[in-house]
């Protein structure tokens, strides 16, 4: 992932963190906020006593029994994880499970199942979590209802959860609504956003999005463009063409794969128009990309926005970067794929929109073909002199990723046009998309595109067969894939080769690989195992992890009692008492944001350790140096999956490496969740 250290603005050798805060009134309670955003499918948690008897740590109550706090589908595998911490910040909260565990119906106290937990790996301590673990399988409990897992001897229990085939529907609504909260230039009314997160439309003032200046010619009024709309990328407010395109493709693929997962009742402004709200949300992003496309077919690479809390308080100017090959290729890909999905809708306006997108896709392809090496490294003076300060994350691609983007665009263009130019390119380059050791969590997107090509009726049968055979073979035989599941490598039931920045996105992409395996393997037993494995990665995000924490923000309204209470975000910053953290009197961040997750590569900024006499000593003598003196263990000095802290301190504490959300994380999670959201 891209480092966020570029958020620091260097002025006269002094590093300052710029934060424009707006402290609002504290009148609206968290309960009012949650009820304001509740959908018809919401079931707010009332389980305030789940933590009774548990020890407390820096991340809150230290759980001994963890479950998916939203719940499980009726016929699914259901396994509670019982934990005895041996290493890490919670090692003093040791727990010896009793011989009898019960599944108890919450409303009646009825015991519906009793049994003994089974030790994981013969009682060994897991290096990845530092825990000794037992599994309690209650898959045979299939009666819909609300339950908890109880250790009879200690009377300690899990948080409550539901068993219901529609248990993930309310989760999906909040997950998709995250994009609404991230919209730039859109008013968030009390009706749509909830009273606690209402805000005027942002970035519409003089010199802002409707009047965006060129970064390369800031004073040239003839180059001003109307680039309103789109989504804030992450905790920052910048907008990136390639990443927006990827997110839209994921949203549309989620819908295309399971339309029944999505309704028209998500309480966004377009709700009730007869179009599934996920398509309305995708169109919001597409409209911005259309504005980013030049008349010659090229697409601008990035738009830089100013930050404040709330977003409407931002007054700084907006700038755009130049067109690039990579941005234009991703524009071609998303326009073509969106044309395919939207043209199948019955609404004439969407069909007309799809036809226009098809033209835009072909125009973008033509420009990128004629201009195959136009690069721009934003916010990087070393590689692109003069670019420092234009947005934050680095959006430019290397040669391999640019080739993958061209392949993806060719596949979708071939699908909607049948033109052999695109088909021949895809056929000639399919072996370059996923490396020989893949697929892995890092190249799941490329694998998805390959398999998309393999579904096309007019694609080469030889190539289709090669793609499918290679994918199934590697997924079932690669030691880092299905064998990890079969061999029970992870006590928290979601094994993953690499645990690093953005681990929750990696969990989602790994789930997606198993969903694809379930679709393409000819072996029904492998398909069932793969689908069950995919669900375990969602359970991890929903609380089956060493923290027992739902890694989605503020989800009590959707049934999770112990969900992320804070995150790194310019709107929900630590300078805001109202939005910084969920509490009994403050609403905290908006619901449904997937945070980055445990990150064993986390570190405070190097300036915390700069020697006396160097320019960076005491972080350039900044008052923010005081953050260096705090203890950050966790996330430091922990087993990998405990490398997490609920904090949102900025530079030099750099909490964005752990708790920052991202529309990329969100889109990957929605895609992984979509097959289960009935």
* pLDDT tens per residue, range 498-528: 999 999 999 999 999 999 999 999 999 999 9
pLDDT attached to residue 599: 98
**pLDDT at res. 7:** 39
pLDDT of residue 588: 98
Predicted pLDDT of residue 382: 97
CB-based contact 560:60 (threshold 8 Å): no
pLDDT value at residue 204: 98
Residues in the chain: 678
Q: What is the widest separation between alpha-carbon atoms in the chain? A: 76
For helices 524-541 and 663-673, angle between their N-to-C axes, nearest 10 degrees: 140
**Domains parsed from the chain with CATH numbers:** 185-228+236-397 (1.50.10.10)
What is the rounded (10 degree) CA torsion for 566, 20, 236, 644? -30
Cβ partners under 8 Å of residue 48, min gap 6 = 561
Q: Which two tokens stand for residue 185?
A: 């230039």
For the chain, state the CA radius of gyration: 25
How far apart CA 511 and CA 517 sit, in angstroms, is: 10
Token output for 61: 């109550």
Residue ranges of the chain with per-residue pLDDT less than 70 = 1-41
- Which residues pair with residue 161 across a beta bridge? 147
The Cα-based distances of 446 to 249, 402, 450 in angstroms read: 12, 12, 6
Output the CA–CA distances (angstroms, integers) from residue 337 to 178, 214, 270, 296, 355, in the order listed. 23, 29, 22, 20, 11
Our CA angle for 345, 347, 348, nearest 5°, is 115
First to last CA, the chain: 32
Pair of tokens at residue 598: 């445990």
List phi, psi (to 5°) of 661: -85, 175
Residues 645-656: tens digit of each pLDDT: 999 999 999 999
Give the SS3 label for residue 234: strand
Whole-number Å distance between alpha carbons of 264 and 275: 6
**Per-residue pLDDT, 503:** 98
Angle at 628 between CA 624 and CA 629, to 5 degrees: 115
Residues ≥6 apart with Cβ < 8 Å to 338: 248, 249, 252, 282, 286, 354, 357
Which of 446, 468, 444 has its CA nearest to residue 456? 468
Question: What integer pLDDT is reported at residue 678 of this predicted model?
Answer: 85
- Chain-centre distance for alpha carbon 230: 17
Question: What distance in Å separates the CA atoms of residue 174 and residue 553, rounded to the nearest whole number?
Answer: 10
* Whether 138 contacts 80, CB under 8 Å: yes
Residues pairing with 320 in the sheet: 214, 303
How is residue 575 written in tokens? 């300078």
């Amino acid at each position: 992932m891209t480092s966020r250290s570029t958020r620091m603005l260097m002025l006269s050798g002094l590093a300052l963190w710029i934060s424009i805060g707006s402290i609002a009134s504290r009148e609206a309670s968290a309960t009012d906020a949650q009820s304001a955003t509740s959908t018809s499918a919401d079931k707010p948690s009332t389980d305030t006593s789940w933590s009774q008897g548990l020890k407390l740590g820096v991340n809150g109550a230290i759980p001994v029994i963890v479950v998916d706090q939203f719940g499980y589908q009726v016929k699914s595998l259901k396994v509670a994880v019982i934990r005895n911490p041996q290493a890490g910040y919670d090692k003093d909260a040791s727990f010896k499970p009793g011989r009898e565990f019960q599944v108890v119906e919450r409303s009646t106290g009825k015991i519906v199942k009793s049994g003994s937990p089974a030790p994981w790996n013969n009682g060994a301590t897991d290096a990845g979590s530092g825990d000794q673990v037992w599994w309690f399988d209650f898959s045979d409990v299939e009666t819909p209802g609300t339950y908890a897992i109880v250790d009879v001897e200690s009377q300690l229990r899990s948080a409550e959860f539901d068993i219901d085939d529609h248990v993930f529907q309310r989760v999906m609504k909040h997950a998709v609504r995250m994009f609404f909260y991230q919209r730039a230039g859109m008013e968030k009314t009390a009706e749509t956003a909830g009273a606690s997160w209402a805000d005027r439309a942002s970035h519409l003032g003089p010199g802002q999005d409707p009047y965006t200046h060129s970064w390369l010619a800031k004073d040239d009024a003839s180059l001003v463009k109307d680039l309103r709309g789109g989504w804030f990328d992450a905790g920052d407010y910048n907008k990136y063409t390639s990443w927006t395109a990827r997110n839209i493709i994921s949203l549309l693929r989620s819908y295309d794969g399971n339309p029944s997962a999505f309704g028209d009742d998500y309480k966004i402004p377009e709700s009730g128009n007869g179009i599934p709200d996920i398509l309305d949300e995708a169109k919001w992003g597409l409209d911005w990309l259309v504005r980013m496309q030049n008349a010659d077919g090229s697409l601008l690479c990035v738009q830089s926005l100013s930050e404040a809390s709330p977003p409407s308080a931002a007054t700084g100017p907006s700038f755009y970067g130049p067109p690039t090959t990579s941005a234009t290729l991703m524009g071609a890909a998303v326009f073509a794929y969106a044309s395919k999905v939207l043209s199948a809708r019955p609404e004439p306006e969407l069909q007309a929109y799809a036809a226009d997108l098809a033209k835009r896709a072909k125009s973008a392809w033509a420009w990128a073909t004629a201009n195959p090496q136009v690069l721009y490294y934003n916010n990087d003076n070393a590689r692109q002199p003069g670019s420092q300060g234009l947005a934050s994350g680095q959006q430019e691609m290397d040669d391999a990723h640019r080739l993958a983007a061209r392949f993806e665009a060719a596949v979708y263009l071939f699908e909607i046009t049948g033109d052999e130019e695109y088909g021949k390119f895809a056929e000639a380059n399919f072996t370059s998309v996923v490396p020989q050791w893949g697929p892995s969590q890092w190249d799941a997107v490329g694998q998805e595109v390959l398999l998309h090509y393999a579904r096309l009726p007019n694609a080469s049968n030889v190539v289709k067969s090669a793609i499918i055979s290679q994918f199934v073979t590697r997924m079932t035989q690669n030691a880092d894939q299905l064998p990890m599941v079969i061999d029970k490598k992870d006590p928290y039931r979601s094994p993953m080769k690499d645990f690093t920045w953005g681990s929750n996105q990696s969990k989602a992409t790994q789930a997606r690989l198993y969903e694809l395996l379930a679709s393409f393997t000819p072996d029904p037993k492998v398909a069932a195992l793969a689908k069950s494995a995919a669900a375990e990665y969602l359970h991890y995000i929903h609380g089956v992890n060493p923290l027992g924490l739902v890694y989605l923000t503020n989800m009590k309204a959707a049934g999770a009692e112990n969900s992320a209470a804070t995150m790194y975000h310019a709107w929900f910053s630590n300078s805001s008492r109202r939005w910084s953290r969920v509490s009994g009197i403050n609403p905290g961040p908006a619901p449904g944001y997937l945070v980055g997750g445990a990150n064993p590569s986390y570190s405070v900024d190097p300036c915390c350790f700069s020697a006396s006499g160097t320019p960076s000593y005491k972080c350039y003598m900044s008052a923010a140096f005081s953050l260096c003196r705090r203890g950050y263990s966790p996330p430091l000095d922990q087993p990998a999956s405990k490398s997490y802290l609920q904090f949102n301190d900025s530079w030099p504490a750099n909490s964005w490496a752990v708790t920052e959300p991202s529309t990329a994380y969100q889109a990957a999670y929605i895609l992984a969740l979509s097959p289960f959201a009935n």
